[in-house]
A = this chain, B = another copy of it.
């Protein structure tokens, strides 16, 4: 069933797009260590509060992170922990790409 496979690829693309941004990848990697509130990301990343909040909501809507409101603060934590392995895979691609590029100068 070709069309079914395509539809599944589309569903996967939605989740991948949610991750495919410098800021959101950084967030996922930080959240892999420990939960964080929005304000901590604002401080660490230095973008507008609204920008950070929107990035987190993209991750939340994709089902990658989850939310816990405590007092005035909103804490985000990593829900899809397999993401970590995946980012290692990406890191290997980067290394392999760099090796190829540097081998051009030998």
Contacts and interface: CB of A to CB of B under 8 A. Distances in A.
A17 interface: yes
A-side interface size class: 35 or more
Chain A interface, >50% SS class:
helix
Contacts of A12: 22, 25, 87, 90-91, 94
Contacts of A23: 9
Interface string A63-106: 11000000000000001101101111111111011001000000
Contacts of A5: 26, 29
Interface of A: 2, 5-6, 8-13, 15-17, 19-26, 29, 44-45, 62-64, 79-80, 82-83, 85-94, 96-97, 100
